[in-house]
Amino acid sequence: MTEPLNDLSRLCIHTITTKNWNLEQAIEGYVQAGVPGVTVWRQWLDGIGAPRAGELLRTSGLDVVSLCRGGFYVADTEAGRSEAVDDNRRAIDEAAAIGAPLVVLVCGAQPGVPLLDARGMIRDGIEASLSHATQCGVKLAIEPLHPMYAADRSAINTIRQANDMAEAIGSPHCGVAVDVYHLWWDPELESEIRRCGEAGRLFAFHVCDWLSPTRDLLNDRGLMGDGCIPIRQIRGWVEATGFHGYNEVEIFSDELWRLDPADFTGKIKTAYLQHV
Ligand code: ZN
């Protein structure tokens, strides 16, 4: 069986992947490496500010794929939930300022808040954010996270839950981000990707790999091909729905962050061509 040839035309890198580069360095590094897309993490706007970041990004010619991340709607006080909605409003403004068409939502969870309650808060929070998002021409993507993050990062842990919530919300500005790291284990993955894509809600596709053993719950993601996720197969399911957006490389890794970011970007390109 011959596998389809890949090229770099759909490669996007998240700024957190090359953590030691600030925004200006990342822009320069990606352009030099021939990486066409970037997803900007909000911390990369600190200091520089979204308007100036937007100027740099537009001048660079890079495609701004999304802003990571909004969400965190779950809080055990009304004031906390209200602050989260305010913060998402700011995230949406920042996305508009840098030309990002999408804000990716890590929906939130808090130890002590029951998951069912948390999901209600998430839905309320997204609904409270949607009119501003719509006005700004920015979409919101629910990113289901692996269940190991259910206590403190996201009460949305499967793609079915994300699809159900996006469907219940029923806005063309609310969809789903599919991240292979969080979802690869799910026996419903193929069918729920199909459901998501056919509903026009598959807004983003994130890749990296699952290392075995995983030594840290947060910062031990692998480079594509170094773990056990069938990334190309999952990409095939995603693209079979008609998705033709970017394949976004999002790696948090204490080990890989030690590399020189330019060398690491080179490794990403090689791994991308072979395994995505
Ligand atoms: Zn992701």
pTM of the model: 0.97
How far is residue 266 from each of residues 18, 20, 45, 81, 270, measured CA to CA in Å? 11, 15, 25, 41, 6
- Predicted pLDDT at 6: 87
**Among 134, 133, 145, which Cα is nearest to 107's?**
145
CA quadruple 97, 98, 101, 107: dihedral sign: negative
**Is residue 21 one of the residues assigned to a domain?**
yes
Residue 2 has what pLDDT? 44
Q: Is the pLDDT of residue 161 over 90?
A: yes
> How many Å apart are CA 58 and CA 15, to the nearest integer?
16
CA of 147 to the centre of ligand 1 (A): 14
Does position 1 have pLDDT exceeding 70, yes or no? no
181-230 pLDDT per residue, tens: 999 999 999 999 999 999 999 999 999 999 999 999 999 999 999 999 99
The pLDDT score that the predictor gives to residue 79 is 98
Distance (angstroms) between ligand 1 centre and the Cα of 71 equals 13
3 part of a folded domain: no
> Which strand (E) or helix (H) includes residue 248?
strand 247-249
In a domain, 43, yes or no: yes
Nearest alpha carbon to residue 104 among 56, 149, 156: 156
Residue 204 lies in a domain: yes
| CATH code at position 169 | 3.20.20.150
pLDDT at 22: 98
| Confidence band of 5 (pLDDT split at 50, 70, 90) | low
In a domain, 86, yes or no: yes
What separation in Å is there between the alpha carbon of 135 and the centre of ligand 1?
25
Neighbours of ion ligand 1 (CB under 5 A): 179, 206, 250
Q: Is residue 5 part of a domain?
A: no
> For the CA atoms of 184, 185, 190, 193, what is the dihedral angle to 10 degrees?
-60
Tell me how many domains the chain contains.
1
CA 133 – ligand 1 centroid, Å: 20
Q: How far is the CA of 77 from the centre of ligand 1 (A)?
A: 27
Looking at every residue in the chain, the average pLDDT score rounds to 97
CA-CA distance, 13 to 256, in Å (whole number)? 14
The domain in which residue 163 lies consists of: 11-275
In a domain, 165, yes or no: yes
Residue 132: inside a domain: yes
Do the beta carbons of residue 223 and residue 267 sit within 8 Å?
yes
